[in-house]
Amino acid sequence: MSWDTGMPLLVLASSLLPGLVIFFLPEERIVTRTTLNLAGATLKLALVGVMIWGALYGHHYETRLPILPGLDLVLRADPLSILFVALSSILWLVTTIYAIGYLEGSPNRSRFFGFFSLCVTATVGVALAGNLITFLLFYELLTLVTYPLIVHRGTEVARRAGRTYLIYTIAGGTLLLLGTVWLYTLAGSLDFTARGFLSGLGGAHHTALVIIFVLLIGGLGVKAALIPLHGWLPQAMVAPAPVSALLHAVAVVKAGAFGIMRVVYDVYGIQFAATLGVTLPLAIVAAVTIIYGSMRALFQDDLKRRLAFSTVSQVAYIVLGIAIVGPVATIGGLVHLVHQGVMKITLFFCAGNLAETLGIHKVSEMNGVGRRMPWTMAAFTIGTFGMIGAPPLAGFISKWYLGVGALDGGQGWVVFILAGSSLLNAGYFLPILYAAWFKAPPDSWPAERSFGRRETAWALLAPPVVTALLTLAAGLLASAPFSPLQWARFITTLEYAL
């Protein structure tokens, strides 16, 4: 096996093996567990770096293992998968550091970090999947390994949220399986191909292809939290903050959105999907989700629940970018996959810091918290302004490309959706900032922990500060080489054969 064929397996193994070892570690082996966690995350990041460098110099990384006659398990590093795998590797490292600090002293850490590593393994598998069957396998694995993380606290609320999550995602997986099987019987292939592989099928199959599209998008839309399939996401916010960060920014919702990208671009092909007439309904579902999610976020007093509804809205931007047929909007959708992840993980880290340090869970408890935790709230401020789309932050770049792409594609109505959504984003985020920075703090916080002269533990403070800086850099340095925007442009040239 050469480096080129082994590299995707190595990237998978860098989180799978530490995860499996961690399961068997006794609770008190803190140093070993921490070392394994950090070594795995750092190694994965290094391997992904090597893979990006190699891909730029013409290396073709692909692993192909037969699983059934005519069906292979394919792991491939194409530009789209590299975008997702790079995002998940970077954010996994910071989330690991955060989780180590967050769970300090709490029970069942070996179980938690074991599933945590498996979760990232499944996400990387989703990213590197070279065909729909491989994608499906890792997609379902993701469902199974995320469930224990959601119910980690073991409370009745957590178990209920876990049940809801499982029901939704199994239903979604079933739809996806049904669509995949049907597609295989029609096309005889499931390999992801730039610009799709279905356009050669005759007109007699078009009705079936539309139904399959609905099944596949229905299955993926559960994890992407498109309405009315989003109900699990606000409930899953009972999970610990690192899990929420993983669900909302790195793994689960991203796997759904990424899957929709794969189906539209590399299974159907964007032009063929537009010919079938399935892109406009998808754009409408995304637009309704954007507005609905923002409306629901507006009056949530629970901070994480507000952020969860915000995710419902923000992930739909990615789908909207896909569904507006045109290269500029595609850039917007692709780049928002990265930008939303970086911004939302910042917000969840900050929410976790507030909960762990001061016992703050509700927006109504946040008066004056900016004075007590200035670094955390500065990071939160950058994240929220990014979400609103204020320049020069990452969200501005996404909204810019989505807006210009909509005009470019002759879909001016999308611009009003973007404007309305920005207005609603301001409506549910700015009152938080006002309370935090301008209102007087209370005499005491709900459950304050002391960290000496520091506002909180280093392991909790560094990750949101780093991701906030990434939010700033992704926007400010958008035109620099190797920025997410440049990579999204590169992918678009391939998908549209420009």
- The three-class DSSP label of residue 1 is coil
CA quadruple 268, 269, 271, 275: dihedral, nearest 10: 0
**CB nearer another protein, residue 174 or residue 193:** 174
Q: Closest approach of Cβ 218 to another protein, in Å?
A: 9
Q: What's the maximum distance between 2 C-alpha atoms anywhere in the chain? A: 72
Q: What is the DSSP string of 263-310?
A: IIIIII-HHHHHHHT-HHHHHHHHHHHHHHHHHHHHT--BHHHHHHHH
Residue 97: CB partners within 8 Å, gap ≥ 6? 38, 459, 462, 463
**CB nearer another protein, residue 241 or residue 394:** 394
List contacts with another protein (CB under 8 A): 164, 167-168, 170-171, 174-175, 177-178, 181-182, 185, 228, 231, 296, 299, 374, 385, 389-392, 397, 399-400, 403-404, 407-408, 415, 419, 422-423, 426, 430, 437-438, 475-480
Q: Closest approach of Cβ 403 to another protein, in Å?
A: 4
- Give residue 56's identity as a one-letter amino acid code: L
**CB nearer another protein, residue 12 or residue 283:** 283
Q: Closest approach of Cβ 421 to another protein, in Å?
A: 11
**CB nearer another protein, residue 116 or residue 487:** 487
Nearest-angstrom CA–CA distance, 475 and 399: 11
Q: Closest approach of Cβ 385 to another protein, in Å?
A: 8
**CB nearer another protein, residue 359 or residue 368:** 368
Residue 251 near residue 88 (C-beta atoms within 8 A): yes
Nearest-angstrom CA–CA distance, 58 and 43: 22
Look up residue 103 and give its two tokens. Answer: 């769970």
**CB nearer another protein, residue 301 or residue 448:** 301
**CB nearer another protein, residue 251 or residue 474:** 474
| Tokens 């007439």 belong to residue | 277
**Residue among 380, 370, 390 nearest 464 (CA):** 380
Q: Closest approach of Cβ 478 to another protein, in Å?
A: 6
Residue 461 near residue 467 (C-beta atoms within 8 A): no
**CB nearer another protein, residue 128 or residue 183:** 183
Q: Closest approach of Cβ 146 to another protein, in Å?
A: 17
Q: How far is CA 398 from CA 82, 252, 328, 498, in A?
A: 19, 21, 10, 21
Nearest-angstrom CA–CA distance, 322 and 265: 8
Residue 351 near residue 242 (C-beta atoms within 8 A): no
| Tokens 């394994």 belong to residue | 36
Q: Closest approach of Cβ 115 to another protein, in Å?
A: 23
Q: Closest approach of Cβ 99 to another protein, in Å?
A: 27
Q: What is the DSSP string of 21-72?
A: HHHTS-TT-HHHHHHHHHHHHHHHHHHHHHHHHHHHTT---EEEEEEETTEE
Nearest-angstrom CA–CA distance, 410 and 203: 27
Q: Closest approach of Cβ 322 to another protein, in Å?
A: 19
Nearest-angstrom CA–CA distance, 456 and 475: 28
Q: Closest approach of Cβ 324 to another protein, in Å?
A: 13
Question: What backbone phi and psi angles, to 5 degrees, belong to 131?
Answer: -150, 175
Nearest-angstrom CA–CA distance, 325 and 132: 22
**CB nearer another protein, residue 80 or residue 342:** 342
Q: Closest approach of Cβ 217 to another protein, in Å?
A: 14
**CB nearer another protein, residue 284 or residue 415:** 415
**CB nearer another protein, residue 365 or residue 408:** 408
Q: Report the residue count for the chain.
A: 498
